[in-house]
Structure 1
Amino acid sequence: MASDEEVIQEITTLSRQLSKTKTERDVLRAQVKELESDLDVAEARSQLSTRLAGHTYKPPTWLTRKPKKSSGVVCTILSDTHFDEIVRPEEIGFRNEYDRKIAVKRLKSYFQKVILLTKDYITGINYEGCVLFLGGDIFSGDIHEELTETNEDTMLGSVIFWTEQIQAGINLLAEHFDYVHIPCVVGNHGRRTRRPRMKLRARDNFDWFLYQTLEERFKDNKKVTFDVASGADLMVDVQDTTYLLTHGDQARGGGGIGGIWPPLMRLVARKRNNTDFDYMVLGHFHQLIMAPSSGFLLNGSLKGYDEFAAIENFAYEIPQQALWINVPDKGILWQTALLVED
């Protein structure tokens, strides 16, 4: 018969084995969950590759046909959302806070206010449709170690989650407007590499993959069309006005007394060396500056003030996005900010 000491030793051994087995089980469960997520993305990518092989883009006819003088098109840009980045209020003087839960609320507020403003406030115009510019930096990504360490989810998990959220917002727009057109460019944060790249800039970016996934979701909806850029820029014709959509990271400088204005004016001038457009639409700098008379519309950020802005001593800016009305002969007639925090 075993002694008490031997029984205790056996119980201890079995307890350790049980604990080890439970740990291994939890690890395997996590691996299975991650593999299932990878499989979902791989299947979606396979479907996209098949569809893209024969893809050709044709602008929707409602955007380019001869407009009526009483008509207009609602234009808005969604960019610099930096989904699944964590901003801790205690690190920035409690000026802002950001996580997935807050981002969902702000995204919902953004889409709802596009409809609210055009339905109840900017009236008397026959809206032919809505152009939703997607300007990049939808995700914060893994381009810095600190982001990899603190992001709320992996990139694959983020793509799956936020595809559903943005799809819901586009559906809301499609319920309100006769047509919704969505031009898309990638940002610098969604890239898969730590260093920026020139070749395959778009196709190696998670923003691009999100856009393609959304386009696939709406392929049977005749009211919703996409134009996903293969490069850094995209020309967008709205009635008789031409926009150049770009993320904005091609602008350099901004640290002098003139602030961001000199780099933006230089970028507008350089772009016009090779392309003909009326207005450049961009984001990247998390500052809302709507200056059509100077040739550009600079978008704000859904994320808002963060640790980088605080450490660099940038001026505080509330989370906001841009909206404007395009009309025939005049281009941008009316412009405003969409405040997404409340």
Structure 2
Amino acid sequence: MASHVPAGVHFSPEIIAKAIAMFALGHQAKEVAEILKIGRTGTERLRRRWRAGQVTVPDEPAEEMAPEAMRRENRDAAFWRKRATDAAHDLAAAEHLAEELAGIRGMRVEIPDWLLRSSEGKKGRSVIGALTSDVHMGEVIDAEEILGINAYNPDICRVRMQRYFEAVCTVGTRWAADTECEGVLLAMAGDLISGDIHDELRMTNALTAHEQVSAVVGVYAAGLRMLLESYPRVHVVGVPGNHGRTTHKPTAKLYSRLSYDILAVSMLAEQFRDDPRVTFQYGRAKDQITPVFGRTVFTTHGDKIGTRGGMGFAGPMLPIVRGTKKISEQQASIGRRPDLIQHGHYHTSGAPGSVLANGSVPGYAEFADDIRAVVEPPQQWVYLLHSKWFLRERASIQLEAPSVPDKPKVRVPAGFRETADA
């Protein structure tokens, strides 16, 4: 086999051809030397010369190769091609696993210093937590379909969210009066929009998905400005929900990157990019972990906690307890222990242990009525984290003023009273 061999390379043309083929598949000089049983120093020199374009091998051999030798060469080439392909697949799987479990690659994390400092001070330090989820901007609930129990549309959504942010400012500042309040931890925990994941939503939504994103960003932008009037700083944590997905069915891969919820968070971050008082935490992972005063807050939407649906008279609370237990065990297996897990999705407000399960902004809807679920008012959590006591205060804020039902009007037929007295 003819070959241009520079000075200092003392291998036969056949060996050079095999070595170059293996270099092209990504093998290092050490591997090639061991497999071809040739000197490592010469192999490294050959690899350098090949990469510099100083070694060339013609496409056709100068002499005929015996059929058996040719078959052996073909088998060897196929073997190395398969190894290279398998290695590429293994690398891709490892990168995906690291991305899913740890959220390291491409993750946007900016944890501000005021969340990390754990020194007490005289009064103790605090952070107000605002858990928002299941806003469902764009959804329409027809009161007539559920006997007047509840109604919802984009205008009602704006009113309820304004009431919520006002409550965070009022209640939170009262709670934090005996502390040095550092700011607000605002969770945008998924299902910010109604989305188009069901045919009935596409038929009844008041806004398209893109309009929903724009509208909900406006709501949160107004809420952030309101919070900044009462608190010095706000750290926003965003995770994706199931209603905000852009795919027909839920996926395991690219779940966050294909989410309207994360698009809304990124648009909000763009609006406040020049305001140093507001920081944002979101990324490719479906969950986010935020350190607060030396402890950790685990934020997720709730659709991927490992359990689904309700359980008889207990409703969603048993799946919530089981699912958050699975989160704790999963995180413990890699040396992390969440001190607070916060999520939404089930539209059921609860606080089992170190868990805050969120209600919803729309409240009672046609689906809940269809399964005869217990009526729960629209509500969202607000809480206080203390540098010493951690979760010290919490309250589920009702987003509608409690209504007083009208007194029933009963018409008594004429003569009925006299008959009854007799």
Give the TM-score normalised by structure 2. Answer: 0.66
Indicate the residue corresponding to 2:347 in structure 1: 286
Partners of 1:336 and 1:304 lie apart in 2 by 17
1:187-219 CA distance string (max 9 Å, x none): 100111221111110111110100010011111
In the TM superposition, 1:97-136 aligns within 5 A as 97-120=151-174, 123-136=177-190
- Aligned-residue offset at 1:241: 2.4
Partners of 2:174 and 2:289 lie apart in 1 by 31
Indicate the residue corresponding to 2:268 in structure 1: 214
1:316-342 CA distance string (max 9 Å, x none): 011110011101232201111112113
1:32-81 CA distance string (max 9 Å, x none): xxxxxxxxxxxxxxxxxxxxx98752310000012325211100111101
Q: Does 1:274 align with 2:330?
A: yes
* 3-state SS of paired residue (1:123): helix
Partners of 1:253 and 1:160 lie apart in 2 by 30
* 3-state SS of paired residue (1:147): helix
8 Å contact kept, 2:107–2:285 = no
- Aligned-residue offset at 1:253: 3.8
Displaced runs of 4 or more, over 6 A: none
Partners of 1:337 and 1:261 lie apart in 2 by 16
Tell me the amino acid that sits aligned with residue 322 of structure 2: R
Indicate the residue corresponding to 1:259 in structure 2: 315
Task: Give the structure with the higher percent strand.
Answer: 1
Indicate the residue corresponding to 1:225 in structure 2: 279
Tell me the amino acid that sits aligned with residue 116 of structure 2: T
Change in 2 beyond 3 A, CA 1:192/1:329: same
* 3-state SS of paired residue (2:290): strand
Once structures 1 and 2 are overlaid, which stretch shifts more, 181-190 or 250-259? 250-259
Partners of 2:233 and 2:359 lie apart in 1 by 25
Indicate the residue corresponding to 2:376 in structure 1: 317
8 Å contact kept, 1:96–1:305 = yes
Indicate the residue corresponding to 1:34 in structure 2: none
Tell me the amino acid that sits aligned with residue 268 of structure 1: T
Q: Based on CA coordinates, which of the two structures has the bigger radius of gyration?
A: 2
Partners of 1:54 and 1:252 lie apart in 2 by 30
Partners of 2:293 and 2:190 lie apart in 1 by 24
Mark the runs of 5 or more structure 1 residues left unpaired by the alignment. Answer: 1-52
- Aligned-residue offset at 1:157: 1.5
* 3-state SS of paired residue (1:323): strand
Partners of 2:219 and 2:382 lie apart in 1 by 20
1:150-193 CA distance string (max 9 Å, x none): 10111111222221221111111122111100111111001112
Indicate the residue corresponding to 2:88 in structure 1: none
8 Å contact kept, 2:316–2:348 = no
Q: Does 1:302 align with 2:399?
A: no
8 Å contact kept, 1:268–1:295 = no
- Aligned-residue offset at 1:122: 5.4
Tell me the amino acid that sits aligned with residue 316 of structure 1: V
Tell me the amino acid that sits aligned with residue 328 of structure 1: S
RMSD of aligned C-alpha atoms?
1.7
Q: Does 1:338 align with 2:394?
A: no
Q: Does 1:96 align with 2:150?
A: yes
Change in 2 beyond 3 A, CA 1:57/1:302: same
Choose which of 110, 117, 124 in structure 2 pairs with 1:65. Answer: 117
Matched pairs, number? 288
Partners of 2:127 and 2:182 lie apart in 1 by 6
Partners of 2:125 and 2:345 lie apart in 1 by 31
Tell me the amino acid that sits aligned with residue 277 of structure 1: P
Indicate the residue corresponding to 1:167 in structure 2: 221
Partners of 2:375 and 2:346 lie apart in 1 by 12
8 Å contact kept, 2:129–2:384 = yes
Change in 2 beyond 3 A, CA 1:257/1:100: closer
* 3-state SS of paired residue (2:202): helix
- Aligned-residue offset at 1:268: 2.0
8 Å contact kept, 2:136–2:361 = yes
Mark the runs of 5 or more structure 2 residues left unpaired by the alignment. Answer: 1-104, 332-336, 402-422
Partners of 1:260 and 1:309 lie apart in 2 by 12
Which structure's relative contact order is higher, taking Cα pairs within 8 Å and 6+ residues apart? 1
8 Å contact kept, 1:290–1:335 = no
- Aligned-residue offset at 1:120: 4.2
Partners of 2:249 and 2:328 lie apart in 1 by 27
Tell me the amino acid that sits aligned with residue 212 of structure 2: S
> Equivalent pairs: percent with the same residue?
32
